[in-house]
Structure formats: structure tokens, C-alpha cells
Amino acid sequence: MSSDKKAKEFKKPTFGLALCALMSVVISLIVCIMVFKTVSIQTGLLLGIFFVTLISKTLGYTFNDLMKFISHSIGESTFGLWFFFAIGAIVASWMAAGTVPAIIYYGLGIISPKVFLPAGLLLCSVTALCTGTSWGTIGTVGIALVGIGQGLGIPLPITAAMVVSGAAFGDKMSPVSDTPNLTSMTSGADLYESIKAMIQTMWPAYVVSLVAFTFLGFKYGGGQGNLAIIEETRNVLEANFNLHPIVILPIVILLILNIKKFPSLPAMTVAVISGLLVAIVFQGMSIPTALETINSGFSIETGSSYVDPILNRGGIQKMLWTFSVAFMALSLGGILNKVGYMDALISGLIKRAKTVGSLSLIVMLSSMLSTAAFGEAYLSFILNGNLFKKEFDKRGLNRAMLARLISEGGLMMTPLMPWTTFGAFVATTLGASGFEFAPYAFLNYLSPVVSVAMSYLGIAVVWNNKNNKGVRNFSDVDLSDEPELAQ
């Protein structure tokens, strides 16, 4: 039987069947993560793939057909999947080089009561920007800042919101973070173009948030707190690392390569190598130990139970959890996308989007709802990236804008949802749930609000054809000279 004839036997999913397939995934994840609690998201994804496979058989698809969809999805994302290993290697090498410890050391040196909140926001932003991890920032610098804030008499929800805002910003904007890499990968956009698009809507939200935290700082930062935590951290870092400014070199090198638009993965490789060289030359690390650090991560015993968790992280092995989630979610996304489930669910809604603003709102809400339903932002990134990228092509919008929207709707709102993996981590680590600190997490909700508002106004809209600048209605879009994009 020819492949053409076989293809005609496939049935298109109805709205009801598509909803059934999606709900099987949602229920699988909810049962594993929220009901049983001890069952991993990977198991939930495997169950979701199993149920979607069974449902797809009613449409005429065989297991081999679905495996081809999975292979295609994974094959398209192979380059992006390598970023997870690169990120783990960078964090480990920069820890070994003293690069990240130096950032923390000098950052803590500027902390004072009245500037604690804005300075903490900047410190968390820079730390997450350099390390590419919001979880790592919250679990290290964030913990230190919460202790300092409590000593200064600042309410815990406010400090927690400041930490989460800064960490989410750095995670969203860092070229070494899995978030922009994953959103650009699934959207089919260039990494640096995606980050450039994110800057356009992020900076107004960030400035407003910084001002808001500054005012709160003057209100609550008048007390005389115990700064022993800062002193302990700085003393331990100074005793265990050479903190000469030269150790910041790996960051400088990566920033220069980024500005020069050097290919991202090779640039990250150079950043790893430069970190290892600094570790060997300036920190006295042996070559074998430095090389193994890339795989197993940086490890040190300073004698401080408070500081050690800040330093012991990174490495390829530490990224395998994230890698496995992305791999399984890509597999599931390949089936949902190729069989047409997601198209069946939102096709009617998309057709009603007559303006850039309304389409942006639909993407944003879809990202938020799927993140809330799945309890995990990674799956939301992958599903929405695959779901909307062809629609953005048809309407002349650059996929970098899609990557921006799904990260704003997914990542920025995730910590405010206590039932998500990120939200649960924040609540456990900082001692405040998303419901408690949400009123003060200015950046997390301002980012998506500002982005959608600017889209309605025709500002910061990223078109493939620059002649469409300022256009708000799709009926006025010039679709001539559109570039060919990967499927």
C-alpha cells in the first residue's frame, strides 16, 4: 500500500477527541505530581504518551507512525538538546573558576538596609543571567537574601517576591539558560533574535519593578538588621577562592561573543574552556579535576553548611533531569502536533484573532493555562511553540516574538502557581507560597501584561517584513518577501 493511500486513511481528530487526548495528559501529570506527589513528572509524561498513543490508534495511526512523529520532533531539536549539556558545563566551570563566587562576593558587598530590595533584585538578576538557572539562584543567593531580609525586618513575602522576580528575569534572558534555548528551539526561532525580542518588552516591566522595590526598600529598610549572614558568606568565599577581578573573564568573553553574534553553542563551548583555564591557572585546580568538573559538577567543602549549597552545583549529570523532561515532552509534543490534536482545539479561536494584540493574548493565555494544567513550564513551551509557529508564519510575524510570548506566559507566571514544580520549589526553599508573595512579584505579572499591551498598540511587534512596522490589524499586513522558515 502506498504511503499516499495510507495517509488518506488517517482521520482528523474532532474537538472532543482532541480534548480527550489533552485531558489524558493533564490527568496523568496531576495524578503523579499533585495526588501521589512522590511520582516524577517524567512518569506522568510517559503515561500521557501511552494514553495519547492509544487514542491516536482510533484515527488509524500505528505505533510506527507515531514513532516517526517522535523521531521527527527529536531530530528537529537535537541541536537545542545539546544546550542542556552546555549549560551544565558552563555552571560547573564558572563555579570552579571562581566566576560565580566572585559575583556573589562583590554583589553582597553592596548590600545595605535601604537598598537591600533593589540591590537584591539586581544581584539575583545578574546571578541568574550568568548561571542561566532560576532554581539555582533561588536555592543559593535567594536563601541568603531571605535570611538577610528577615534580619532587616522586611516581610518574607516581599523578599521572596524580589528573589523570584530577579531569578525569573535572569533565567528568561540568559543565553545559557534552558528557557530561551527551549522556547526558541520549539518555536523554530534564532536564540539571539528571541532574546532581542524579549528585551523590547522586558525592560519597561523591569524598570517599573525596580522602582517599586526601591520604594518598598525605603519603607522597610530602616531597621538595623544582623548582617552576619553576609559577613559569613563573604569570608568563606574569600578564604576558598582567588577573587581577583580576572576571574570574571569567562563572562566577559561570552558577552563579547554574544554581541558579535557568534554561534551560540560554540560560544558556550569557549565559555566553558575559558572557565576551566581560569580554574587551573588562578584557582590551582588540577587538569583532571577541572575536566571531570564538566561532567560531575563543582564540589567543595568549605566547612560552612550555609555556603556549601551555594557552590556545589553544575555539571552535565545535574542537567539530565531537565534533559529527560525535555526529551519526553518533545516526544509527546511531536505526536500532539503531527496528529493535529492541538490544531483541533484552538483552530477556531485562532481564526477569530484579527489583530496582533488578540493573537498575542491567545498565545499568552494558552501558555498560562497549559502551564497551570501541566504543572510544568517545559511542556507548555514545547506544546505552544509547536502549536503556533505555523500561524505566525502565515501572518508574517517572526517566530522570535512567539518565543517571547510563550516564555512570558509560561516561565514568568509559573512560580506564582504553588502546585507547579517551580512554585512548589519556591515555597519549600524560601518559605513563602506563590499566593503569599504574588502581590509583590511585580515583574512576574508585569512582563506578560506589558507584552500584550504593547502588542495591541503595535509596539515591539517583530515582523518578518519590516515594512509592516506599526501595523496592528492583520488585514493590513504586507506578506510579500516573506522568508522561508523551517517547519
**250 has a pLDDT exceeding 70:** yes
**What is the three-state SS of the chain?**
CCHHHHHHCCCCCCHHHHHHHHHHHHHHHHHHHHHCCCCCHHHHHHHHHHHHHHHHHCCCCCHHHHHHHHHHHHHHCHHHHHHHHHHHHHHHHHHHHCHHHHHHHHHHCCCCHHHHHHHHHHHHHHHHHHHCCHHHHHHHHHHHHHHHHHHCCCCHHHHHHHHHHHHHHHHHHCCCCHHHHHHHHHHCCCHHHHHHHHHHHHHHHHHHHHHHHHHHHHHHCCCCCCCHHHHHHHHHHHHHCCCCHHHHHHHHHHHHHHHCCCCHHHHHHHHHHHHHHHHHHHCCCCHHHHHHHHHHCCCCCCCCCCCHHHHCCCCCHHHHHHHHHHHHHHHHHHHHHHHCHHHHHHHHHHHCCCEHHHHHHHHHHHHHHHHHHHCCHHHHHHHHHHHHHHHHHHCCECHHHHHHHHHHHHCCCHHHCCCCHHHHHHHHHHCCCHHHHHHHCHHHHHHHHHHHHHHHCCCCCCECCHHHCCCCEHHHCCCCCCCCCCC
Q: How many CA atoms lie within 13 A of 326 on its CB side?
A: 25
Q: How far apart are CA 294 and CA 287, in angstroms?
A: 11
- What does residue 35 show for φ and ψ, rounded to 5 degrees? -85, -60
| Cα–Cα dist 240/222, whole Å | 33
Output the pLDDT for position 4.
45
Averaged pLDDT of the chain: 82
Given a contact cutoff of 8 angstroms between Cβ atoms, the answer to whether 17 and 60 are in contact is no
Q: Cα separation of 364 and 372, whole Å? A: 12
pLDDT tens digits, 369-419: 777 766 668 778 887 888 888 888 888 888 999 999 999 998 898 888 876
What's phi and psi for 24, nearest 5 deg? -65, -35
Encode pLDDT of 21-77 as tens digits: 888 888 888 888 778 877 877 888 899 899 999 999 999 898 899 999 888 878 877
Q: Is the pTM of this model over 0.75?
A: no
Report pLDDT for 486.
45
pLDDT of residue 482: 54
Residue 244, C-beta contacts closer than 8 angstroms, at least 6 positions apart:
282
Closest CA to 443 of 179, 204, 152, 188: 204
pLDDT in tens, 303-346: 887 678 778 878 888 778 767 877 887 788 788 878 888 778 77
Per-residue pLDDT band for 6 (boundaries 50, 70, 90) equals very low
> Which triple of cell numbers denotes residue 263?
554561534
Lowest average pLDDT, out of 49-63, 188-202, 217-231, goes to 217-231
Closest-CA residue to 160 (of 409, 444, 395, 371): 444
Confidence bin at 1 (pLDDT 50/70/90): very low
Which tens digit of pLDDT belongs to each residue from 266-289?
A: 888 998 999 999 999 999 999 999
Nearest-CA neighbor of 132 among 88, 102, 98, 93? Answer: 88
